[in-house]
Homo-oligomer: A and B are copies of this chain.
Amino acid sequence: MRRAASRIAIAMTIAALHVAAPAIAADYPQPLPEEPVPAVAVLPEKYPESWVFVHDLHFNSLPDGRVAVVDVAAENRNVKGQIPAAQFGNVLPATTRPEILVGETFFSRLTRGERTDVITIWDAKTLSPKGEIVLPGGKRGLFVTLKNSLQFTNNEKWALVFNFTPGSSVTVVDLDARKVLSDIDLPGCSLVYPTGPRGFTSLCADGTMTSIALDAAGRAGPTVTSKVFNDIDKDALFMSPAMVGRTAWFASFTGNIRGIDFSGAAARDLGMFEIAKPAGGDPEWRPGGWQVITADKAGLLYVLMNPHGKEGSHKDGGTEAWVIDPVKKALVRRIALKNHSVSIEATQQASPLLVASKPDGSLDVYDAATGAFQRTIVGVVHDPMTMTAAR
């Protein structure tokens, strides 16, 4: 169909500019300069240690999860950018190169059609996708995000993806070659904790853990299963530990702390110690929230604590962060939080900040050493489940 071009010409009639000749303010002889377009912000290749990845599960639209990159130390401009992490995604920032890995799942028609699981490799500087590795089998584990669902091994050359169908398995991915190396069945065990130079450990439903060393081709090599140490019925360990070097510190439901050394080819249980339980609990103080334990660079632990601890309270969030010295096995300090919080993360600066995420998606930031409240950062995400400090 041809329509007269005159229509457009008429449409172009100047409608209303509402602008008379402007008065020129004597104070400003020159107008503001023109600004270039297009203009797109870029980030540093290496993020400052005050930056935190805040994962947004986005419960009201699970297919459209995302991660906010947030500078928690800045007075303003805190949100630096967003990274998509679709459908129970995982985010894993690399430390050896300027890349951020995201495990995610798509359907060709958003909620239906063909399923595609991928690891997307994001450029840290531009926040643009620079690569994608398709994961076969449509089996990437979909659950409320846990950091140990996607991990590195082999000096960050490989990625480990935990699958759940509900059968458990681990996919080993070569990030340089952008290809899948192997699939390792893992019946009865969950998640991946990088172990030794090239391997991982999984926590098992019988209370043990199994460490698997990988050969150069990514295949399962020597396997070591530990004694039973995780009393899942009576005092289960939270799945997300605080990492101090290669040592993981796990909190338990009732408030004990267990160390696991993942530096060797097989994980080594360092034993458990109790956090002294001060008075004031009703019925008792227990860890509560989603990411309940974190560590600073000096190796101090922070545990999000709920005064109303009891069976079933373990995801209820908390009102204090308890600072624990795992070497002295001692409660060092208690930080009273301004608000009921969901998850906590310590930054890796020499003078660390403690970040507490709240149910409304905002963050409260504290001086980790003094407990002094620093700022609230609003408008970060919808559902801030996990946080990962830049390293």
Contacts and interface: CB of A to CB of B under 8 A. Distances in A.
Contacts of A112: 84, 129
A188 B3 CA distance: 8
A-side binding surface: helix, strand, loop or mixed? mixed
A346 B339 CA distance: 45
A61 B205 CA distance: 37
Interface residues of A, number: 48
Instruction: Report the 7 A-B pairs with minimum CB-CB distance, sorted nearest first.
Output: A11-B205, A10-B206, A7-B188, A61-B61, A1-B220, A61-B64, A7-B206
A204 B112 CA distance: 38
A189 B7 contact: yes
Contacts of A233: 13, 15-16
A208 interface: yes
A88 to B, nearest CB: 13
A23 interface: no
Interface string A208-224: 10101000000010010
A370 interface: no
Given A7-B205, A63-B64, A205-B7, A1 B110 contact: no
A110 B129 contact: no
Contacts of A64: 61, 63-64, 110
Given A61-B61, A212-B1, A382-B60, A187 B110 contact: no
A262 B6 CA distance: 25
A3 B210 contact: yes
A220 B1 CA distance: 6
A8 interface: yes
Contacts of A63: 63-64, 110
A3 B185 contact: yes
Contacts of A185: 1-3
A184 interface: yes
Contacts of A109: 86, 106, 118, 120, 132
A58 B111 CA distance: 15
Contacts of A186: 1, 3
18 contacts: A1-B185, A2-B185, A3-B186, A3-B187, A7-B189, A7-B206, A7-B208, A11-B188, A11-B204, A11-B206, A13-B233, A16-B233, A60-B382, A63-B64, A64-B110, A84-B110, A84-B111, A109-B132
Nearest to A220: B1
Contacts of A6: 206
